[in-house]
A and B are shown apart, each in its own frame.
Chain A
Amino acid sequence: MELDVGFIDINDIQFSNEAGISGGVLRVDPDAIKALILSDERIRSVGVEIARPGESVRITPVKDVLEPRVKVAGPGEVFPGVLSKVRTVGSGRTHVLRGAAVVTVGRIVGFQEGIVDMTGVGADYTPFSKTVNLVLDFTPADGLAAREYEQAIRLAGIKTARALGELGRDVTPDELKTYRTLTTTESAGAYPGLPRVGYVQMLQSQGLLHDTYVYGVDMKQSLTTVIGATELMDGAIISGNCVSACDKNTTYHHQNNPVVHDLFDAHGKTLVFAGMIITNENVYLADKERSSDWTAKLAKYLGFDGVIISQEGFGNPDTDLIMNCKKIEAEGIRTVIITDEYAGRDGTSQSLADADRAADAVVTGGNANQVVTLPKLDRVIGTMMYTERIAGGFGGSVGEDGSVTVELQAITGSTNELGFNALSAR
């Protein structure tokens, strides 16, 4: 499975009556975007705004971030199984509007969406202060249930990212890269002497409002399975999460999974990228046992010598993480786990809710309880009404001078467990 990815660099987004891309500028017709979104009657109104790196802008409560992409050649379309037909994606050619993002904003369950600051201290902690963002600020129809609202916003984000991506179909990319997923027979013969390394990605699937969709399927309902790493680049995995902002994987993270990219980079040099497994994080304990049994079974079946396991979220997913780690190690396969920590504000509490001797190689994305004070910014897209209540905010967190004191938990992508952000510890 081979995918050519053409990166079109976007340095700015501007409103225009004529949508298109030229000279690194993405021109967006806000009325067309509104019409696209308001075709869903569950959404009463939507504000369309632009937030650029360095501007004095705070975006909150942020639900999801998506990267505009378009399938130029090869089977399927981006975000398969959601708004387009189910076809296996991950081969052919895809264009990416690199540097641009769609950010969806709306209060869904009141306390679990995040903050993105485009300047100041907060900007250092989120990767989405470095992208030019088209921000969609939603107001739901009266009386809309939270689950309906989540779905409506999820689909609106996908529609918008797809519509913007379409503008890049005929644009000549600034950079072209080819990614190739090997079959097991191909990888078995490749680079003898190098270890066969696989990737196990754990997906949040605790229940309504805490789900991840793979080809449109709720991952909670799936057994652990195998996926081609290039399929992620075409939007095969979509976030439907309202968990803590710091360590949820947005759709943008899935599209740009850094573990996948680093494994491709290391392939043939220090290791053989031998395959990828996706598994879930269910609340029912029998599901946890079953899913981790399957993870270990598939890792053995695919002949991995080593496995990288990434987690999503915290608390009960720590149990899945440790089960996966223990069972894979028990098959004689070495593991490295990527997680983050809830070690208390002073960093002295136990970091994970579960632990085991087998988990002796750990990469951390940082301490989600670390406290930061964000300065007052000139403009707020969305509302500050819920900032005190976003996970990681707390009573009295908005100061008289307009500054906001929060834990890193509240900042979108700050302690990402794919290693997408810069935070860590030694």
Chain B
Amino acid sequence: MMAGTIVTNNPLARDALNKIFFVEYRAESAAELLTRARDYIHAGGRLLTHPLSGGIAPGETPYKTVLVSDERGPLDYDSLSMIERAIETCEEFSSRAAPEIFLDDYMELDLAVIKGALKI
């Protein structure tokens, strides 16, 4: 597994992953989170996990966790296009804000997906 930083707005993911990874947590919207992940890519990092996951669009779910590389290099256009598409999707689905009764489900689902990706 490549060394990376977890960028998340999911407190459950922060608590579960901060012993294994460097976790950059902020309480913020999915759109803000994706924009923050894009900053890492602009700075030469690469996306290591896909920002669309779990069969549920960002914007629809407020929680999102992505892994970005610590390694810095020239701008990675694949990562940039993936994160830009995720931001577009987020805008498209933002009208479907998460109902409160499902917030725990969304949190757990996001964590399950990232743990599955990291195989931990």
Please tell me the number of chain A residues within 8 Å of chain B, measured between CB atoms: 41
The proximity string for B residues 36-52 relative to A, scoring 1 for CB distances below 8 Å and 0 otherwise, is 00000000000111111
Q: Which residues of chain A from 196 to 215 have any CB-CB distance to chain B below 8 Å in the complex?
A: 205-211
Contact between A220 and B50, CB atoms less than 8 A apart: no
Q: Which residues of chain B from 46 to 93 have any CB-CB distance to chain A below 8 Å in the complex?
A: 47-57, 60, 67, 82, 85, 89, 92
Chain A residues close to B by CB (< 8 Å): 109-112, 146-147, 205-211, 220-221, 242-244, 248, 282-288, 313-316, 318-319, 344, 349, 353-354, 388-389, 391, 394-395
Q: Give A324 Cβ to nearest chain B Cβ, in Å.
A: 15
Residues of B within 8 A of A111 (CB): 56, 102, 105
Residues of B within 8 A of A208 (CB): 112-113, 115-116
Q: Kindly count the residue-residue contacts between A and B in the assembled complex, taking CB atoms under 8 Å apart.
A: 103
Residues of B within 8 A of A112 (CB): 55-56
Give A112 to B109 CA distance when docked, in angstroms: 11
Minimal Cβ-Cβ distance residue in B for A109: B105
Whether, in the assembled complex, B12 has its beta carbon less than 8 Å from a beta carbon of chain A, the answer is no
Given A207-B113, A208-B112, A284-B49, A391-B56 contact (CB < 8 Å): yes
| Given A283-B117, A284-B119, A315-B50, 20 new contacts (CB under 8 A) | A109-B105, A110-B105, A112-B55, A206-B54, A207-B112, A207-B117, A208-B113, A210-B116, A284-B49, A284-B67, A285-B50, A286-B48, A316-B50, A316-B53, A319-B50, A319-B82, A353-B85, A353-B89, A389-B99, A394-B96
Contact between A209 and B109, CB atoms less than 8 A apart: yes
Contact between A349 and B113, CB atoms less than 8 A apart: no
Residues of A within 8 A of B47 (CB): 285
Give A304 to B67 CA distance when docked, in angstroms: 36
Give A353 to B2 CA distance when docked, in angstroms: 25
Which of the residues A110, A221, A315 comes within 8 Å of B53, measured between beta carbons?
A: A315
